[in-house]
Every structure is written in structure tokens, then in C-alpha cells.
Amino acid sequence: MYKGSCLCGAIHVELHGAISDIIHCHCSLCRKNSGTAYATNGFINTKEFKVNDPGNKLTYYEFKPGKKRHFCSVCASPIYSSNADNPEFLRLRLGLLDSAIDERPMSHNFVDSKANWDDLDAEIPRYPTFEPSRL
């Protein structure tokens, strides 16, 4: 079982199944919604997903008819997206997971829409925490 939570901790989720088709999505919707270069999403089975939201903080933005992005109304963490045409599956935002997972991303998608400063193959330094120059 995988567990996850939003930034403020108001919403906890449990996944009692596997995640499939994990991608790094560089489309403009995911960029704007996340405020970052890309969002990492995967399909989960709706029946295997449990949202624990005792304070009723989960809300959504319907970005296209029937397509909703669900997020925490306190801290704005993206939780998952849903599609009314395909209710048996949800798209989970993997960044909210606290568990280590067995599955791995399979691709970078919508790279034609990626930000022009996002260089997928850039050889830039990697640090375990903040960059050393950060005060």
C-alpha cells in the first residue's frame, strides 16, 4: 500500500494497487498547474484509491468539461485529476506520495510544449539539498 499527503497534511491518500503509465508531462496545463517544468503523473484504479479528508479540504478546478484537477484548498497541493469519460481511473500526482514506489516513469511527454529553459539533458550539478551558495 502506498501513502501520500498534501503539503499542509489536511488530506491523506492511500493507494491499494499499482500505478501504471507514469510520465513526466511537460504540457502547458501541467506546467501552469504545478508551477514547475513538468508534472509526474500515473494512472491508478479509482476503486483502489482512498482519500482521507476529514476537514473537507479537497476541491477541484474543471479545466475542460468533465475533466477536473483535484487539489487541497488550504495548501494548493495537486492531488489527482479525473475524467468523467473514464471514471474507473484517476491520474495521481506522484509528488504527493510519502511511500517509495516500485513503478518507474516511462517517458517525458509533450516535450514540444516544454518551457524553453527546461533542458532535459543538461549536465548541471546535482546537490542532495540546497545549492551550496544558498544562504
Interacting residues with Zn ion (CB under 5 A): 6, 8, 10, 25, 27, 30, 72, 74-75
Shortest reach from residue 52's CB to Zn ion, in Å = 12
**CA distance linking residue 60 with residue 73, whole number of Å:** 8
Q: How far is CA 50 from CA 1, 12, 44, 47, 119, in A?
A: 11, 8, 11, 8, 36
Q: For residues 47 and 63, which CB has a smaller minimum distance to Zn ion in the complex?
A: 63
**What are the backbone dihedrals phi and psi of residue 68, each rounded to the nearest 5 degrees, phi first?**
-120, 140
Minimal distance, residue 49 CB to Zn ion, in Å: 17
Return the number of the residue (72 or 94) whose C-beta is nearest Zn ion: 72
Contact of 26 with 114, CB cutoff 8 Å: yes
Nearer Cβ to Zn ion, position 8 or 18? Answer: 8
- To Zn ion, the closest distance from the beta carbon of 99 in angstroms equals 18
Shortest Cβ 36–Zn ion spacing (Å): 12
The residue among 8 and 51 lying less far from Zn ion, judged by its C-beta, is: 8
Can you read off the three cell numbers belonging to residue 52?
Answer: 482521507
Q: Which of 108, 96, 95, 103 is nearest to 27 (CA)?
A: 108
Q: Phi and psi at residue 62, in whole multiples of 5°?
A: -90, 100
